[in-house]
Amino acid sequence: MRFPPARLLAWSAKLLLVLVLCSTGARAQSLTTTDVQTLIAQAVSAAVQLNRNVTVAVTDREGNVLGVFVMTGAPAATQIRSVGALGRGLEGVSVPAFAAAISKAGTGALFSTSGNAFTTRTASFIIQEHFPPGVDFRAGGPLYGVQFSSLPCSDIKKPGLPLGLSGDAGGMPVYKNGLAVGGIGVEGDGLYTVDRDPADFDQPFEEVIAASAVRGYEAPALIRGDNILIDGIRLPYSNVTSPPAPQTIPFGSLPGAVLSGFPIRGGQSSAFTAATVGGINGEVTARFFPFIGSSFPSAATALTASDVNLIISHAAQTANITRAAIRQPLGSNARVSITVVDTEGNVLGIFRTPDAPVFGFDVSAQKARSAVLFSRSDAAARLAGAGMSLYVNRAAAENVPLNGSIAYSDRAIGFLHRPLYPDGINNTQAAPLSTSLGDWSPFNVGLQLDLITQSLLAPPAVCSLRPFVGRPPCTCSSIQIIRNGLQIFAGSIPLYKGGTLVGAIGISGDGIDQDDFIAAGGSQGYAPPAGIRADQLIIRGVRLPFVKFPRSPTLP
């Protein structure tokens, strides 16, 4: 699928406006205008040495675009392409090169903290059907599905990234004085993909240029992804060990121009302010604080503001003693975003513990909303009404009830959304919510993508331009409960009062088993009755999981 040139131009112009408007009021960081010019100049100088024409984007830590530079002769578009069948999902769709560059830069920024530094290569490693990619009989990547978060249509994370989070090499975090301050993304080969063979140690020129660009702005060695292990598996960071270091061309003499709509600027003011909840210091946004109660379904069986405060306090306190999975130095505590929603998916409160990765802000809400949707009595009807009858019928054929009789966590939902069932076991059929493996790719995963495809391919259309107050909210899905999209990796638990569904808690930021453990801490007194948990279901002779805790989860 390719957009006609006129449509592609219109898409580009509108998305420029969307991202500029959505970035107003986001985070102050220490990248200056001079820093942004230096990063771009170093990238373009390396590209000139390599005889490549590329688009370069820089964002601050919260994803605000600080500048986009297009070299003379750089491709205007790039094609989304991986292993899936052409024309299925996003496979074969052409998108603006600047959109890919921004998503790459934003991925490096949103994933990285003072305790971990991840690149788009790292992201690619943790979103595929096996972990590590290419190794048979291994479960799916721990963040399988995260690529469809921080979307431009999200009502939670502003600004969003044009294509969501990226797994295409060429995006790296930017650090200054050892602190995470942003990201840089390079696009120029005309292909937006993932690394299907991490063992070949490929060095695409986009990654070479990005590595050269961050000279002087490198992540501290200790916290790079290649110093972090998950299940004993070392994550990748970059295949470029010795980037080129050509003489830097002065910014004013670079071959190309700053893209109209993305002027060079310094880091923006923060969307977050300091707050203390349950005795734990962290951050909130004015949009979701102070915490509120719900009016659904009724006063007697709804979450009150006091309930929400207690749930978030318990989760934050649990995070404070939970051993981190993806942070250095070893012995650090987990840093996460915590979201509580009601049965309609309305956010009742979001709290970030200190230095939690920003990507989790949106994902924690997606997780909570996903648990609510699937645990509702009308889940099947809602999905069918959104045109997803194929998946509803497949679930029904496998005796997966979507009628409120089962409490689904995101771990359970994710298990039902893998191209191999049980998860990672080769030569098995796809789970009922997934695309079959023959058509599958990270850009064609099944229900999760099908729910948002229309909004993702037309991000400027209507909702992204709406302010937060006075008009209907922005939505990625026609199902309002999951209006920032479905999420399909672990870290949420539906909440109950007196046996009645009243909402859900979602956690994201520091390892999925840790997310489950912290969600369980927050759900104390509100957990679903044991008899209706998803782990009471046996599908194809395999018990669904509900939550999974890490070994020795708490710090001494």
* Low pLDDT (below 50) residues in the chain: 1-29, 459-472
Q: What is the pLDDT of residue 10?
A: 44
Q: What is the pLDDT of residue 473?
A: 52
d(CA 290, CA 275): 10
What pLDDT is stored for residue 30 in this prediction? 86
List, edge to edge, every strand of the sheet that includes 94-96: 94-96, 77-80, 191-192
State the Cα–Cα distance between residues 207 and 152, nearest whole angstrom.
25
Share of the chain above pLDDT 70, in %: 92
Q: What share of the chain is helix, strand, coil (3-state, %, to 5)?
A: 30, 20, 50
Looking at this protein, which amino acid is placed at residue 279?
G
Q: pLDDT tens for residues 413-470?
A: 999 999 999 999 999 999 999 999 999 999 999 999 999 998 887 644 444 443 333 4
Q: Is 170 helix (H, G, I), strand (E, B) or coil?
A: coil
User: What pLDDT score does 464 carry?
Assistant: 42
Residue spans in the chain of domains classed CATH 3.30.450.150: 5-19+26-258, 283-451+486-543
Coil, strand or helix: which one is 196? Answer: coil
Domain 5-19+26-258 adopts which CATH fold? Beta-Lactamase (3.30.450)
Q: Which helix (H) or strand (E) holds 375?
A: helix 359-375
Q: What is the pLDDT of residue 458?
A: 64
Place of tokens 């991986």: 82
Classified by CATH at the fold level, domain 283-451+486-543 comes out as: Beta-Lactamase (3.30.450)
Backbone angles phi, psi at 208, to 5 degrees: -60, -45
Q: Taking the complete model, does pTM exceed 0.75, yes or no?
A: yes
Q: Report the DSSP pairing between strands 55-60 and 256-258.
A: unpaired
Alpha helices in 112-204 (DSSP H): 120-125
pLDDT given for residue 475 in this prediction? 81
Q: Taking a C-beta distance cutoff of 8 angstroms, is the pair 103, 219 a contact?
A: no
Amino acid letter, residue 368 = A
Q: Which amino acid, one-letter code, is at 107? A: T
Question: CB neighbours of 372 closer than 8 A, spacing ≥ 6?
Answer: 341, 342, 343, 345, 481, 494, 501, 503, 504
